[in-house]
Structure 1
Amino acid sequence: MTNEWLERWRDGRIAFHRDAVHPALERYWPDLQNQGSKILVPLCGKSLDMRWLAGQGHPVLGIELAEAAIEQFVAEGQGDALRYRQGDFPIWRQGNVELWCGDFFHFHIAHAAEIGAFYDRAALIALPQPTRQRYAFHLAQLIPPGSKGLLISLMRPNAKGPPYSVGHEEVEKLFTPNFELTHLEDGKTDDRGWQESVWALTRRGPVA
């Protein structure tokens, strides 16, 4: 999966990238009331959703394996990008967006001290089934109790992936141990047979 992901970015095979902010993010994010929280965006690519979140007053921390994606995000943005390093992660910062280049599973709680919310449009569905459980558990370790997030999954019968089809039952099985889930909507099925499902998640546990 790692090599395939890097090859997709190198070859420009990024049909999953949206050229506009996701409408479900604009529709549902304000209801989460995450005013000013630092937003974790796993497997972020060069998503324009990060710029929208930053425009709402959020510091944004995206994690992306493909350096090409980060370089494109910066090149397509405005203003200079500051580059620095923390541990094994090279980091680009442009405006209110930090982009960490590396493996999401190597990003640990020590890095996430200021994280207060998360957004996942393309992370869960990029991972094969055995890795999705690991992802859900790792995400829970990074998100403090009481924090909220928005998850957008995809469903399609007999999909081989990536992207992978992750239906309601699997979303609930993966996240219910550590999150309270609210199913917000299912979108219309597109011309390729994909249907989006949108979820609000709240991290379980005592709030400090």
Structure 2
Amino acid sequence: MSTSWRQRWQEGRIGFHLSQPHPALLEYWPTLGVEQGTKVLVPLCGKSLDMRWLADAGHPVLGIELAPEAIAQFLTQRQTPVSRYTQAGFEISRQGSVELWCGDFFHLHIRQAAEVGAFYDRAALIALPPATRERYAFHLAQLVPPGAAGLLVSITHEGEGAGPPYSVPDQEVAQLFTPNFRVTLLEQGSPDERGRTESVWSLERRGPHK
């Protein structure tokens, strides 16, 4: 995945990027009951403006992104100071309350995510090929504590196997996350002009015996 993902950013083929926060984030995040000050994990974050919205809403943000081009573009959106350092093989850039970790999400250890109490996935699951999605769902479950709430946006479309964004059927979303999360379908949209249909989910990390 890493080569094709980097190539997309280098060539500017990032049709999954929105020029404003995602409508589902604005509508449904407040319903999750995530307290202000709770750190939010954003896997495969790209240069998403959703991170700005979360930060402005009072959440420290931990974004993980493989492509340094994406991080550089995010940081230039605001003329505010950036501090940079290295930890556990990640190149980290901090701007305000947003931390961007450049590296492989699967290399993020639970120690690095110790302060995380919520998560947001608008473009991570749908960026992964089928063989990697189960690994992703399991790793996410290891990184967030019991009770952690999250919002997930998935996509279905006719181009089976074509992506990213890949088509992830609702049944697969439920199958991937139900072992470790309480999964609730919040909204199922209508197909857009490209035949893509978005579904919005709330996830809550289960405890050991729930």
Return the TM-score normalized by structure 2.
Answer: 0.97
Structure 1 portions without partners, runs of 5+: none
Which residue number corresponds to residue 188 of structure 1?
Answer: 190
Deviations 1:126-147 (A, max 9, x none): 0000100000000000010011
Instruction: Tell me the distance in 1 between the aligned counterparts of 2:109 and 2:95.
Output: 22
Tell me by how many angstroms 1:78 deviates: 3.1
Does the CA contact (< 8 Å) of 1:40 and 1:115 recur in 2?
yes
SS of match in other structure, 2:152 = strand
Q: How does 1:1-208 map to 2 (within 5 A)?
A: 1-35=1-35, 36-159=37-160, 160-206=162-208
SS of match in other structure, 1:76 = coil
Tell me the amino acid that sits aligned with residue 78 of structure 1: Q
Tell me by how many angstroms 1:206 deviates: 5.0
Tell me by how many angstroms 1:105 deviates: 0.2
Instruction: Tell me the distance in 1 between the aligned counterparts of 2:140 and 2:3.
Output: 22
Instruction: Tell me the distance in 2 between the aligned counterparts of 1:186 and 1:88.
Output: 39
Does the CA contact (< 8 Å) of 1:50 and 1:60 recur in 2?
yes
Return the TM-score normalized by structure 1.
Answer: 0.97
Instruction: Tell me the distance in 1 between the aligned counterparts of 2:159 and 2:53.
Output: 33
Tell me by how many angstroms 1:167 deviates: 1.1
Worse-matched range after superposition: 179-188 or 154-163: 154-163
Work out the number of aligned pairs and report it: 207
Q: Which runs of 4+ in 1 moved over 3 A?
A: none
Instruction: Tell me the distance in 2 between the aligned counterparts of 1:199 and 1:85.
Output: 34
Residue identity (%): 64
RMSD, aligned CA:
1.0
Deviations 1:149-182 (A, max 9, x none): 0000000123311110001100000000000011
SS of match in other structure, 1:20 = coil
Does the CA contact (< 8 Å) of 1:146 and 1:206 recur in 2?
no
